[in-house]
A and B are shown apart, each in its own frame.
Chain A
Amino acid sequence: MENYAIEVKDVSKGFKTFELRRSGSFFHRLWRKRSWKQALSNVSFRVKEGEIVALLGRNGSGKSTLVKILSGILHPDSGSVRVLGFEPWKDRIKLAARLGVVLGAHSQLFWNISARDSFEFMKGVYSINEREYSQRLKYYLKVLSLGEVFNRQVRSLSLGEQMKCNFVASILHKPKIVFLDEPTIGVDLPSKIALRNAVLDLRAREGTTFILTTHIVEDITMAERVILLNNGSIVFDGSRKQLESMFGDKKHVELRLEEGSAVDFRRYGKLIEKSGDVVKIEVNKSTLKNQRFLRMLNDKSVLDYRVAEPGLNFVLTKFYAKMDRKR
């Protein structure tokens, strides 16, 4: 029997925005224009308990809006939402006790006092009993190597340390589901890795469900499943591997050329990048079997070459380009 942590059906949400007009007469332009932005259109998906899902999309694609609707912060215009069996808007309080949220752009921590103080505050907010609180705190301080850092003033911590502390603050009350909204903006690599490990650990030990929204590709490696949002609609919902091999009929070939090389690599594929003596071209998979191409690779002036998968960044760029062309 499947237990769905999240069930979203035909959810839509729009906002009115206040903009200044750019055209029209002088006085016309003085008055603001109210326009409507459709942030989400008929979004539907389900997430099972214990899944780690990455919600990808460019800025303005609706990811944050979706997370806020799932948290009960925003009210959807239409559609139905169930998180852990609760309707987020109506039963926000009951859901909140089982929900952890890290909003990357906004800290839950008090600025001038130590992170420890903020954790104590959380203990009070969620009425966590002392024993469980100190056990969890001790464990996660270790997992995230926050050791002595958590006794320092939050304002003196680096962004990475702050993010890790925010994460701890959001999971102290043993939530069944955690939303991470752009948690790694401006954060250093070691901290990103630490977060990834903590997420996987939490899922393994407690079966916590995670939704991670991001537009940074490297973050997705902790998720098995990717949902891609574009202009408020889901354009891809599948495994990460599926996404990576989406434009799998293409390969990237990197060539290191001798100075003055006359090799005409352009006839085999599109030039993607050129830096110094290295060029990167995009070729069809079939080209790799082409005799002329193979001969070119063995040319004297080709000092070295490498064949690789396009990579997620590239896949996404092409995906977006395809989406934009359709509009």
Chain B
Amino acid sequence: MIDLHKYSAIMVAGFKQELVYRLDYFFSLVFRILTALVAIFVWITVFRTTGASSIGGLTPDVLYAYFFIANAISIFTINDTVASNMQDDIQSGNITTSVVRPVKYPTLIFFNALANNFVGLLTVLIPFMIIIILVAHVSITPVTLSLFILEIITAYLITSALYFIIGSLAVYLVNIWGIISVADSLYLLLGGGVIPLILFPGWASQILLLLPSQLSVYTPAATLLGIISPSAAIGYLFAGVVWAVVLVVLAALWWKKVSQNITSVGG
């Protein structure tokens, strides 16, 4: 019970922090959505040029809905908050005080970031999803919805662990903005945020579907839109869970090594 209190306090602080920058946050969301629009415009043109009714098994409606949903999901599942907060803490030196607090640093960072992302979830993702689902006449079943939610949660854990490892690189490399932004783009690409994984050439999509990134964008969107069947989705979810466990353990071990270095960095 005591722990819960502590964590909710951390989350509220993160919540407040997010809203302090609400204008900045709001506009960054706007541009993320606009980026989805770019893909949609391109595909509209592609379909018109090709004149086919479907490409790679995907009809235009499904494809457009895919891009909106994929980008909306990615706002929550591909979030570099963990890494950028860590970069901030390490650069400012706050990390040395954070490490000695009663709450373990990884936990602190995780819940703080969760709070930040929660705001995006509530204010953008959920309303957005509802709109898309209504407009695109997507049929949702309890099965697909629950699979979707589980996939999102697992994906969030995966990216938190990954960005945590990336964030800790700031101890060695000081300025990791470049790495963070490339990680964002790479993850989005590999996750199917730019092109649905199913459109990649056979050998490529097979590999991509084995990576942890698939769960962050493609699988949840595809599950919801019926591009992949529930049974296939369960398979991907399971693979994702395995990844989540591996990465969280890796992050914990890595952190143990890194935290020993922290006090020796800086003046």
Chain A residues with a Cβ under 8 A of chain B: 18, 20, 29-32, 111, 159, 162, 186
Supplied contacts A20-B16, A29-B16, A31-B19, 12 more A-B pairs, CB within 8 Å: A18-B20, A20-B20, A30-B15, A30-B16, A30-B19, A31-B22, A32-B19, A32-B20, A111-B174, A159-B267, A162-B267, A186-B267
Residue-by-residue, is B19-41 near A (CB-CB < 8 Å gives 1, otherwise 0)? 11010000000000000000000
Taking the closest CB of chain B, its distance from the CB of A115, in whole angstroms, is 14
B16 neighbours in A (Cβ, 8 Å): 20, 29-30
What is the predominant secondary structure among interface residues of chain B facing chain A?
helix
9 interchain pairs (CB within 8 A)? A29-B16, A30-B15, A30-B16, A30-B19, A31-B22, A32-B19, A32-B20, A162-B267, A186-B267
Query: Considering the complex, which residues of chain B in the window 138-176 have a beta carbon less than 8 Å from any beta carbon of chain A?
Result: 174
Taking the closest CB of chain A, its distance from the CB of B24, in whole angstroms, is 11
A20 neighbours in B (Cβ, 8 Å): 16, 20
Taking the closest CB of chain B, its distance from the CB of A212, in whole angstroms, is 21
Task: List the B residue with the shortest CB-CB distance to A159.
Answer: B267
Complex: how many Å from CA A18 to CA B16?
12
List of 5 A-B pairs having minimum Cβ-Cβ separation, nearest first: A32-B20, A30-B19, A20-B16, A159-B267, A30-B16
Task: List the B residue with the shortest CB-CB distance to A32.
Answer: B20
A159 neighbours in B (Cβ, 8 Å): 267
Complex: how many Å from CA A32 to CA B23?
11
Task: List the B residue with the shortest CB-CB distance to A29.
Answer: B16
Taking the closest CB of chain B, its distance from the CB of A23, in whole angstroms, is 14
Taking the closest CB of chain B, its distance from the CB of A203, in whole angstroms, is 29
Complex: how many Å from CA A32 to CA B17?
9
Complex: how many Å from CA A30 to CA B20?
8
Query: Considering the complex, which residues of chain B in the window 1-54 have a beta carbon less than 8 Å from any beta carbon of chain A?
Result: 15-16, 19-20, 22
B267 neighbours in A (Cβ, 8 Å): 159, 162, 186
A30 neighbours in B (Cβ, 8 Å): 15-16, 19
Task: List the B residue with the shortest CB-CB distance to A162.
Answer: B267
Complex: how many Å from CA A260 to CA B110?
59
Complex: how many Å from CA A32 to CA B25?
14
Complex: how many Å from CA A159 to CA B266?
10
Task: List the B residue with the shortest CB-CB distance to A33.
Answer: B20
B174 neighbours in A (Cβ, 8 Å): 111
Complex: how many Å from CA A112 to CA B132?
51
B20 neighbours in A (Cβ, 8 Å): 18, 20, 32
Task: List the B residue with the shortest CB-CB distance to A31.
Answer: B19
Taking the closest CB of chain B, its distance from the CB of A104, in whole angstroms, is 12
Interface centre among B15, B19, B22, B174 (most CB of A within 10 A): B19
A29 neighbours in B (Cβ, 8 Å): 16
Complex: how many Å from CA A30 to CA B16?
5
Task: List the B residue with the shortest CB-CB distance to A20.
Answer: B16
A32 neighbours in B (Cβ, 8 Å): 19-20
Task: List the A residue with the shortest CB-CB distance to B17.
Answer: A20
Task: List the B residue with the shortest CB-CB distance to A26.
Answer: B12
Complex: how many Å from CA A111 to CA B265?
12
Complex: how many Å from CA A31 to CA B16?
7
B22 neighbours in A (Cβ, 8 Å): 31
Taking the closest CB of chain B, its distance from the CB of A188, in whole angstroms, is 13
Task: List the A residue with the shortest CB-CB distance to B19.
Answer: A30
Task: List the B residue with the shortest CB-CB distance to A186.
Answer: B267
A186 neighbours in B (Cβ, 8 Å): 267
Task: List the B residue with the shortest CB-CB distance to A18.
Answer: B20
A31 neighbours in B (Cβ, 8 Å): 19, 22
